Structure 1
Amino acid sequence: MSDLHPAVSSRDHISGDTNAPIVLVEYGDYQCPYCGAAYSIVKNIQKRFGKEVCFVFRNFPLSMHPQAQNAAVVAEFAAKHGKFWEAHDALYEKQRELGGPMYSELVKSLGLSEKDLQSALQNDEFEDHIRADIESGNRSGVNGTPAFYINGEKFDSPGGFQDLEPVIEELLRPTR
């Protein structure tokens, strides 16, 4: 792993086994249209490669997106109740509806308290966690979203995140 990229830890949102041959880390912003497009690619990668890929998501809300920070809080609020991935997926699938009404509907659908969510939003309950993700991204060279790392190395491709799947396929070829 790169010295700059922090290792995956229990504070991360992890889908899969961290000992998988491929560990894909995304720094994402729930309101970023490019992250929205990358979401379906990551889902395809997870479906296609299964246990060979571990996916890790870290928050990187950009200030130019007015709902990005609150959406990250909603995801962290859901995570506190063991429902991060459900919230993560819903936030991307309903990206054009981000805002108070959508957040209320989402937490209700997850069986969580709207009142507790409002308290979390007002009290910056998850600010430290989100800030730690942003600082981790900054140290790792993230300068926009989505930013991907494969096995600790920054993923840079002229084709952008659309090249993730073929690159992962190529990396897995020797192990198959």
Structure 2
Amino acid sequence: MGSVPQDSPLDPHRHSYGSPTAPVTIVEFGDLECPYCRAAAPVLRDVVATSDGRVRLVWRHFPLFEVHPHALTAALAAEAFAAHGRFWDLHDAAFAHQDRLADPDLRRYASEAGIDPDEVVGEAVQRWAPAVEADYLEGLSHGVGGTPTLFIDGTRYTGPITPDALRAATTT
């Protein structure tokens, strides 16, 4: 997919929500077009928000491009948004409008966020392919096959994605 842009370090924690010094990290391998990821998003944010700085969430791309036709382009656009410090803006817009993730939609979200729409679609966005590919390959190396897949401090979480279950899992 090409080389990594010099201004795009492949920090696996680059899309982090919550305190960067939180002692507990939940890593989500997710797909911006996945309805299960959309359902998990407010639960995960709530767990982080109510943890008093103890838990942070890290997003890693795992676009299920065979079943979600816009997942890969949305992931690439999210990386372009991230270059402007706006990753979570596209994350939230994608989940709010999963039925509107085609190029014209991504261009509109960029324009609304004050980002040049030409940066988030087409050839320009391909510069972010190595970052998305790195996340995807990392997921595969850990046995990820579907989304959302969560890891809490490196251990795969297999319980329900509910506030109580995740709070219990992040306090042990």
1:100-139 aligned at under 5 Å gives the runs: 100-118=103-121, 119-121=123-125, 124-139=126-141
Q: CA deviation at 1:11?
A: 5.6
Contact 1:15 1:54 in 2 (8 A): yes
Distance apart, 1:170 and its partner CA = 2.2
How much does 1:114 deviate? Answer: 1.1
Give the conservation status (yes or no) of the 8 Å contact 1:30–1:91: yes
Compute the displacement of 1:94 (Å). 1.6
Unpaired segments ≥5 residues, structure 1? 1-7
Q: What is the 5 A alignment of 1:6-155?
A: 9=11, 12-63=14-65, 64-118=67-121, 119-121=123-125, 124-155=126-157
Distance 1:79 1:91 in 2: 14
Contact 1:90–1:106 (8 Å) recurs in 2: yes
Q: 1:76, CA displacement in angstroms?
A: 0.3
Kindly provide the CA deviation profile for residues 125-149 of structure 1, in whole angstroms up to 9, marking residues without a partner as x: 1111000000100111111000001
User: More deviation in 54-63 or 37-46?
Assistant: 37-46
Q: Cα RMSD between the aligned structures?
A: 2.0
Give the secondary-structure state (helix, strand or coil) at the position aligned to 2:69.
coil
Q: Sort the Cα spacing of 1:143 and 1:169 in 2 relative to 1 into closer, same or farther, 3 A.
A: same
Q: In the TM superposition, what is the alpha-carbon distance from 1:49 to its structure 2 partner?
A: 1.9
Residue 21 of structure 1: how far off its partner (Å): 2.9
Query: Matched residues in 2 for 1:10 and 1:145: separation?
Result: 17
Deviates most, 95-104 or 146-155:
95-104
Partner of 1:5: none
Q: 1:90–1:48: structure 2 CA closer, same or farther, 3 Å change rule?
A: same
The size of the alignment, in residue pairs, is 161
TM-score by length of 2: 0.84
- Identical positions, percent: 31
Q: Indicate if the aligned counterparts of 2:18 and 2:56 stay in contact, CA closer than 8 A.
A: yes
Query: Which residue of the partner structure matches residue 4 of structure 1?
Result: none
TM-score, normalization: structure 1?
0.82
Structure 1 residues 112 and 137, CA, compared in 2 at 3 Å: closer, same or farther?
A: same
CA contact (8 A) 2:32 2:74 kept: yes
Distance 1:72 1:49, change over 3 A: same
User: Which stretch of structure 1 is more off in the superposition, 86-95 or 63-72?
Assistant: 86-95
Aligned 8 A contact 2:27 2:59 in 1 = yes
